[in-house]
Amino acid sequence: MTAEPAGLLVEKLGVHLDPELLVLALTHRSFAHEAGGIPTNERLEFLGDTVLGLVVTEALYRRHPDLSEGELAKMRAATVSQRSLAAIARRLDLGAYLLLGKGELATGGRDKDSILSDTLEALFGAVYLTHGLETARTVVETLVDPTLEVAADLGAGLDWKTSLQELAARLALGVPEYRCEADGPDHARRFTASIVLDGEVRGVGTGTAKKVAEQEAAAAAYRALQELVTPDDGVTAAVAASSQRPARATSTGSAAGA
């Protein structure tokens, strides 16, 4: 990594970072392993994750005094999710600055959600170590504020899997069963998830990660079930009849995961 790109990243963050600490924050374990076991960014990531959680939790608490703990928890989860953090990292073009091993470079590591989100958290940790909590708060809030604003309007979309489970329980359809299949080469895997409720497939979703596919499937299932809910009695005859039918035999599938 040359001095110029490092300077551009620091400029985007809006704070000064010691060059050695910045390099550490950008050092993925794959690069560290190939370089003979030098330190990785994982300890900084651990610290930055805590800083991020605190700043986001406090911001939500202060901005939404009328929301319940459960609603705040959903908004926080949506804001600090791997997918949301990776989107922020892409706005910073963080992938261009990563120090990755040859294997990760060959499999598209510069654009992997997991690597981008972890590195962003490591940068938050580096800012905290250098400048303390107040400056770290400013940096975190500046970067995540657009996500916080969107989260306030997402409703059920804050966490489709949890929202689906709650709606399924309300409709007496049981616990959602998630089935997931993957195809394609390792560097371009594509996942397809389906959700079974009361013996029927209620939603299907796809994505580049299992969690993404499951959230997409949960969103589809939630919207499908919402169409069967009436304002008067809460459940239409179609749902009621569905819940009375014996469940059809299903193949083994994975339980709903976080």
Annotated binding site for Mg(2+): 45, 118, 121
Q: How far is CA 69 from CA 72, 73, 137, 145, 228, in A?
A: 5, 6, 22, 20, 28
Residue 28 CA, distance from chain mean position: 19
Amino acid (one-letter) located at 101? G
How far apart (Å, rounded) are the C-alpha atoms in residues 105 and 160?
A: 32
Distance of alpha carbon 48 from alpha carbon 98, whole angstroms: 17
**Residues within the annotated binding site?**
45, 118, 121
Cα gap 19→112, rounded to integer Å: 24
CA–CA dist 148, 151 (Å, integer): 5
3 state SS of 12: helix
Tokens of 241: 């009849």
Does residue 202 sit in helix, strand or coil?
strand
Active site residues: 49, 121
What are the CB-based long-range contacts (under 8 Å, 24+) for 152-155?
152/63, 152/64, 152/75, 154/75, 154/78
Give one word for 37, left, alpha or beta, with left for phi > 0 and alpha for psi -120 to 50.
Answer: left
